[in-house]
Chains A and B, each alone.
Chain A
């Protein structure tokens, strides 16, 4: 995806979120650290441009909820910042790449400890396949089938695929 493709995808997703939720009322965006955070902010800016109303944005680091079995404890990349009560709201989780689904599952568990949302929706820029859990996105920028060991790099200038350095 080029930078322009990215921009268009964000605009489209913003429209879809508004359409599905009949506007911006009761909706909050939560960006997953770290890739989902700039995306959530872009999405919020776009929604505000379209609708004229600001939508609250939070950030979530779900490291402590992960079920990875690794050799090292994972270090959180940033501190979670959800300064509003989630009860009864629709939370749109935002991440850049959806892969196995484990990050999203950890995020869902984390959200539970902040309150009881009415609903949780998932917006991702890229769905690269290889799901290990029954998780599906509500909003997708692009479906990008990949090999398991391929790298998906998302940045300001777009999305690129690469091979894993050994």
Chain B
């Protein structure tokens, strides 16, 4: 399992700490005029993105290139996907070309784990359905530490569509492993059917929670959720759960505002809130490359394992 990064739970608190520590060095590398080290020279990293996502894919590819690895991209509109080639055949073909790591994003939960059972290459989960997005959680932890010095003991509110959010699942796991106090704020229809085993508290009152937290993490809301009768309208959602200008003013002075992107300005987050000095959304993106460099380095550097 530690040949791969499939879920935050696999890392444990020590694994997360190790990645964040190594990230510091890669932040420094990325700040140089020539942001490149030869650490993964001769290794090949393939992006296997069955679900479109330019940002995450570019972030991983930049990370791989900065480590001097070779990269390949297998995008969703590629011919063999539309010819109906099975998932297993596709990944086995790619592996036969000689790759060291596969970065996989898919709309179905569990696909990275299935692939890890079929190939020798290291598999990195870049987002699988509603399940997890581990590197997002890692860069979120890094950003919080960067700004507040630690994650332990902070009160963090995760606001929005938790039920359908892989970012939320990974963040809950990571934040709680590092000792933060997590509150989910959402209407009942956007919470998972069962919170058994989730070390979180739940609130349906964002106004009550907002002044008390160190971090408010806003999740994207998708319009499709309206047709599923999960809430009646975007307007009602924004009124009850949006980080509006009024709510942003209730935040503590040093509280951070975070969002995994891309934002629906005016829906889950007001434009003004996104531009506050304590909104660290662009830091999140910047840190993403360094965190992914750390992950790739720890997986592929000298052929070893994460969090052994």
Contacts and interface: CB of A to CB of B under 8 A. Distances in A.
Contact of B297 (A73, A80, A110): A73
A84 interface: no
B302 A70 contact: yes
User: Most chain-B CB neighbours within 10 Å: which of A73, A76, A80?
Assistant: A73
Interface string A57-72: 0000101110011111
Interface in A24-83: 61, 63-65, 68-76, 79-81
B197 interface: no
Given A64-B37, A65-B37, A113-B37, A76 B302 contact: no
A73 B38 contact: no
Contacts of B27: 79
Given A69-B302, A71-B304, A73-B304, A80 B18 contact: no
A73 B36 contact: no
Dominant secondary structure at the B interface: helix
Given A72-B308, A109-B38, A64 B29 contact: yes
A158 to B, nearest CB: 31
A72 B25 contact: no
A71 B303 contact: yes
Contact of A64 (B18, B39, B303, B304): B39
Contact of B38 (A64, A74, A81): A64
Interface residues of B, number: 25
Interface residues of A, number: 21
A6 B63 CA distance: 43
A70 B308 CA distance: 14
Given A64-B25, A80-B25, A113-B32, A72 B37 contact: no
B211 interface: no
Nearest to A73: B301
B302 A74 contact: yes
Nearest to A67: B38
A113 B302 contact: no
Contacts of B195: none
Most chain B Cβ neighbours within 10 Å, of A61, A72, A115: A72
Nearest to A81: B28
Contacts of A72: 302, 304-305, 308
B34 interface: yes
Contacts of B21: 75
A91 to B, nearest CB: 16
A47 B18 CA distance: 38
Nearest to A85: B33
A74 B28 contact: no
A109 to B, nearest CB: 7
A114 B33 CA distance: 7
Contacts of B298: 73
Contacts of A114: 32-34
A61 B27 CA distance: 13
A79 B24 contact: yes
Nearest to A69: B302
Contacts of B1: none
A70 B304 CA distance: 8
A74 B301 contact: yes
A33 to B, nearest CB: 10
Nearest to B299: A73
B4 to A, nearest CB: 15
Interface string B37-54: 111000000000000000
Please provide the 10 A-B residue pairs with the shortest distance between their CB atoms, ordered closest to farther: A73-B301, A64-B37, A72-B304, A64-B39, A76-B25, A113-B34, A70-B302, A79-B28, A79-B24, A73-B302
24 contacts: A63-B25, A64-B25, A64-B39, A65-B37, A65-B39, A68-B302, A69-B302, A70-B304, A71-B302, A71-B304, A72-B305, A73-B297, A73-B298, A74-B301, A74-B302, A75-B21, A79-B28, A80-B25, A80-B28, A113-B32, A113-B36, A113-B37, A114-B33, A114-B34
Given A113-B34, A115-B33, 10 more contacts: A63-B25, A64-B67, A68-B302, A71-B303, A71-B304, A72-B302, A72-B305, A81-B28, A114-B32, A114-B34
